[in-house]
Amino acid sequence: MTDSNSTTTFETFESNVRGYCRSFPTVFKTSRGCWLVDEEGREYIDFFAGAGALNYGHNHPVLKDALLRYIQEDGITHALDMATSAKRAFIETFQKVILQPRDMQYKLQFPGPTGTNAVEAAMKLARKITGRSKMLSFTNAFHGMTLGSLSVTGNAFKRSGAGVDLTMALTMPFDGYFEDGTDTIEYMDRLLSDSGSGVDFPAAAIIETVQAEGGINVASAEWLRRLEQLCRRHDMLLIVDDIQVGCGRTGTFFSFEEIGLNPDIICLSKSLSGYGLPMALTLIRPEHDLWEPGEHNGTFRGNNPAFVTATAALNTFWKDGELAEETARKGELVREFLTDTVKRYPELHGTVRGRGLIQGIECAVDGLSAKICHAAFERGLIIETAGPESKVFKLLPALVIDDTLLRQGFDILRQSIEAVLESEGLTAESVPA
């Protein structure tokens, strides 16, 4: 009952919960590098990169070779958390290529296959270490869809899907949340210092250095350093969720390297396997590794093919600083393009935001960003919105994209903006809704 080239099968049989396929209504068949191809042979430039899971592009040949060889040799596919050659190779490579050169000491916990598993494990451990239950989370944060992660996520629509009260978080204002410039670190410090504030003492603060899903909100280096000091002052742990903006998205492997943070726990996933295979990691400072054997387990913590591609990715991209430098350079190209775009089209009422290769424009005009993304799809570019009201269109190309393709994507985006502004009849004087 193949309904070739049509989305009918999905519409008929797949749950209503499906999401991205509505933004990109075609049936994709193959992919390579920064290109996706649908069943009709139409090609799309990918500025979405699997929501940050494909930093090295689709089906990177070096990673694919390593994977094919491993499968061909009957390498272990599934192994719970048993010791395997593939897992040892990953652990040793991660130590050698990532942690040791950065003088970072962390134990590795494989918490389950997806990002939210890494977040759940981190929060559970922080609670165990401190004996406190509350988590200090932030406005517009996004940490995943399981109940613990949802409780520290800001988005009201996603939260309401929980169907239960999400009571374990203490939501605080992110950097720049108040338009009047209120110093949100001072605000938190006041509440945490005042025994009359009614604020329960949290186990940890969980933070994204750049809130990706929340609308590309960038915390300043200074604010993040002060947040770490706040955590130390009030004896809270610091958890950095680097699931979307780690693995090189902002340039360096960890998004906080140049800022100089020393998180107690770090969550990684998305581009860790480098190939789009599910894999997650919770990094724990050795003194905090208070787990009892088997206290937190799960069937799919040993996705060995993912260990193989992850090892190949680290060896290919992270043995020197070239990818980080290139990402910073391409980030500048994106910045120039976006800055020029908001100047050229005042009708957008746009603000540029982001770091490295996660940048975008917030359009104050209601619904405009979604329309631009839709117009881009029709012209062969995959790009998504972010933020609670989807007001930001977000450029998230693979880090390995070449300049020509990047500029080709810029051109399509420009054409899409022009088409939408024309069809909407917007002028610079149009007041944002």
CB–CB of 207/241 below 8 Å? yes
273, 270, 274, 271: which is closest to 303 by C-alpha? 273
Find the binding residues for ligand PLP in span 256-315 (CB under 6 A): 269
CB 115 to ligand PLP: min, Å: 2
According to DSSP, residue 376 is labeled H
CA distance linking residue 150 with residue 141, whole number of Å: 10
Residue 116 contacts ligand PLP per CB under 6 A: yes
HSE (CB half, 13 Å, CA atoms) of 242? 28
Find the binding residues for ligand PLP in span 120-159 (CB under 6 A): 142-144
Q: Which is nearer to ligand PLP, 169 or 365 (CB)?
A: 169
* Residue among 67, 97, 119, 265 that touches ligand PLP (CB under 6 A): 119
CB 5 to ligand PLP: min, Å: 29
Q: Which is nearer to ligand PLP, 273 or 416 (CB)?
A: 273
Residue 327 contacts ligand PLP per CB under 6 A: no
Q: Which is nearer to ligand PLP, 120 or 228 (CB)?
A: 120
Pairs from 181-188 (Cβ < 8 Å, separation ≥ 24): 184/223, 185/223, 185/226, 185/227, 185/230, 188/136, 188/230
Residue 360 contacts ligand PLP per CB under 6 A: no
Residues near ligand PLP (CB under 6 A), total: 15
Q: Say which residues have a Cβ less than 8 Å from residue 283's Cβ, sequence separation at least 6.
A: 106, 107, 108, 109, 265, 266, 267, 268
Residue 208 contacts ligand PLP per CB under 6 A: yes
Residue nearest to ligand PLP (CB): 115
Main-chain dihedrals φ then ψ at residue 107, nearest 5 degrees = -85, 150
Find the binding residues for ligand PLP in span 210-229 (CB under 6 A): 212-213
CB 208 to ligand PLP: min, Å: 5
Give the range of 34-42, 205-213, 290-298, 361-369 binding ligand PLP by CB under 6 A.
205-213
Residue 162 contacts ligand PLP per CB under 6 A: no
Distance from the Cα of residue 306 to its chain's centroid: 18
CB 424 to ligand PLP: min, Å: 30
* Residue among 243, 314, 412, 426 that touches ligand PLP (CB under 6 A): 243
For tokens 């491993």, the residue is: 70
Main-chain dihedrals φ then ψ at residue 281, nearest 5 degrees = -145, 135
Residue type, 32: R
Binding footprint of ligand PLP on the chain (CB under 6 A):
51, 114-116, 119, 142-144, 208, 212-213, 241, 243-244, 269
